């Protein structure tokens, strides 16, 4: 199969759809990878590395799209890319179509087949291509929180791990899923006092087993949330109700009870955020301050560590992409339920129930 990797054109998107090692795997299976020159630079990979691993470099996105049967990307196509997509082409990338009616229409009009990373689903309902980004955001949340605790950014001027004779900082994590667990790992590693709250008792039991006496687990009642936010130097929002907006566990009046200079890292901002005062920010301007609480609410945190994110993302997308390339789309759809779950559009039809519902379209089940 001819597989194309264009450069991402979204602002501040430095990830790329394949690392040189991915290219090597595809080419060793007999496929051709057409790689847009310079597409890997944001993640620290040179064109020479791609060529050495078997990629054919092409000068622009137009040629990548013209000559490829499957396009492997990171982010959804932007309007400038719509006209490059052609009938029958397969697009394999993050799409988040439920919130993007215009893109759905472009895919349907152009009869592009699309497989969205975020809807690839395993039989246990986990989403393998979303997990690595939550792992990254979770670990990064403590790193960012620690930075903005520094005095120069408006923080309390606290060193999370303390030093002999100086108390450690307090990290409270709301939500003990993938983001929360990964935040917990880093916060424990750095030597902070860590408290993690969840409404799922089994999740709390799991965290208690894994981290033992190095953390405190609490059921996420309103009273417990109020208790931990008063003590926290860093408060991490990592709650998710799948398919719904994040419950506002932190109300505006709560901020007055927090320590001046405490940092709220609201990772869940992409679903609306855990605090009434959270609003999405960007890597250009990641923080703002309300009632002396520093808010960090970057909606695409993994973009800050593009190289790590590219490696983490492509490590999981490679296996499904390779199955599609090796088996051909129809066989891959017939034989692999995670890939079938990933199918969002096919030959001008919307084949994902959630997307169809959100966009007011007719849902077409695959024959």
Burial of residue 162 (CB within 10 Å: 0-12, 13-18, 19+) is middle
Element (H, E) at 204: helix 201-211
Binding flag, residue 200, ligand NAD (CB under 6 A): yes
CA distances to 157, 183, 185 from 139, rounded to whole Å, are 21, 5, 7
Binding flag, residue 187, ligand NAD (CB under 6 A): no
Q: How far is the CB of 205 from ligand NAD (least distance, A)?
A: 12
Binding flag, residue 119, ligand NAD (CB under 6 A): no
CA distances to 102, 119, 313, 322, 343 from 75, rounded to whole Å, are 15, 14, 12, 19, 16
Binding flag, residue 175, ligand NAD (CB under 6 A): yes
Report the distance separating Cα 15 and Cα 241, nearest Å: 27
Given 60, 66, 96, 326, the catalytic residue: 96
Q: How far is the CB of 185 from ligand NAD (least distance, A)?
A: 13
Longest dimension (CA), the chain: 69
- Closest to ligand NAD by CB, 271 vs 351, is 271
Q: How far is the CB of 277 from ligand NAD (least distance, A)?
A: 16
Q: 96 an active-site residue?
A: yes
CA distances to 45, 321, 326 from 50, rounded to whole Å, are 8, 18, 21
- Closest to ligand NAD by CB, 123 vs 367, is 123
Binding flag, residue 270, ligand NAD (CB under 6 A): yes
Report the distance separating Cα 96 and Cα 177, nearest Å: 21
CA dihedral of 270, 274, 279, 281, whole degrees rounded to 10 = -60
Burial of residue 10 (CB within 10 Å: 0-12, 13-18, 19+) is middle
Report the distance separating Cα 173 and Cα 106, nearest Å: 40
Binding flag, residue 108, ligand NAD (CB under 6 A): no
Residue count, binding to ligand NAD (CB under 6 A): 32
Q: How far is the CB of 45 from ligand NAD (least distance, A)?
A: 22
Q: How far is the CB of 37 from ligand NAD (least distance, A)?
A: 29
Binding flag, residue 226, ligand NAD (CB under 6 A): no
Binding flag, residue 137, ligand NAD (CB under 6 A): yes
Binding flag, residue 224, ligand NAD (CB under 6 A): no
- Closest to ligand NAD by CB, 177 vs 191, is 177
Q: How far is the CB of 332 from ligand NAD (least distance, A)?
A: 26
Binding flag, residue 128, ligand NAD (CB under 6 A): no
Report the distance separating Cα 258 and Cα 203, nearest Å: 26
Catalytic positions, please?
A: 96, 270
**Residues lying near ligand NAD in the complex (CB under 6 A):** 133-134, 137, 174-180, 197-200, 203, 220, 238-241, 246-247, 249, 267-271, 299-302
């Amino acid at each position: 199969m001819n597989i194309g990797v264009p450069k991402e054109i979204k602002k501040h998107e430095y990830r790329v759809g394949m690392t040189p090692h991915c290219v090597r795997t595809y080419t060793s299976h007999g496929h051709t990878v057409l790689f847009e020159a310079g597409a890997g630079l944001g993640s620290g990979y040179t064109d020479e590395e791609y060529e050495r691993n078997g990629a054919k470099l092409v000068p622009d996105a137009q040629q990548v799209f013209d000559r490829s049967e499957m396009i492997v990307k990171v982010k959804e196509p932007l309007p400038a890319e719509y006209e490059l997509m052609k009938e029958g082409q397969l697009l394999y990338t993050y799409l988040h179509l439920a919130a993007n009616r215009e893109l759905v229409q472009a895919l349907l009009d152009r009869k592009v087949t699309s497989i969205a990373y975020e809807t690839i689903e395993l039989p246990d309902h986990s989403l393998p291509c979303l997990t690595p980004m939550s792992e990254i955001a979770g670990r990064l949340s403590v790193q960012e929180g620690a930075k903005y605790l520094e005095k120069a950014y408006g923080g309390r001027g606290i060193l999370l791990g303390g030093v002999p004779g100086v108390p450690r900082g307090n990290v409270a994590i709301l939500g003990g899923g993938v983001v929360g667990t990964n935040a917990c790992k880093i916060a424990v590693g750095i030597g902070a006092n860590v408290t993690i709250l969840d409404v799922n008792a089994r999740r709390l039991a799991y965290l208690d087993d894994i981290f033992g006496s190095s953390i405190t687990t609490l059921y996420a009642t309103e009273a417990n949330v109020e208790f931990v936010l008063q003590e926290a130097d860093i408060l991490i929002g990592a709650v998710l109700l799948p398919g719904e907006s994040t419950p506002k566990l932190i109300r505006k009046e709560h901020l007055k009870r927090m320590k001046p200079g405490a940092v709220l890292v609201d990772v869940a901002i992409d679903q609306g955020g855990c605090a009434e005062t959270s609003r999405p920010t960007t890597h250009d301007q990641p923080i703002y301050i309300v009632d002396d609480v520093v808010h960090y609410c970057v909606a695409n945190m993994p973009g800050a560590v593009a190289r790590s994110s590219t490696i983490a993302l492509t490590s999981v997308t490679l296996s499904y992409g390779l199955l599609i390339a090796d088996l051909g789309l129809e066989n891959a759809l017939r034989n692999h339920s995670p890939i079938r779950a990933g199918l969002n559009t096919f030959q001008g039809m919307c084949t994902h129930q959630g997307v169809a519902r959100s966009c007011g379209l007719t849902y077409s089940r695959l024959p």
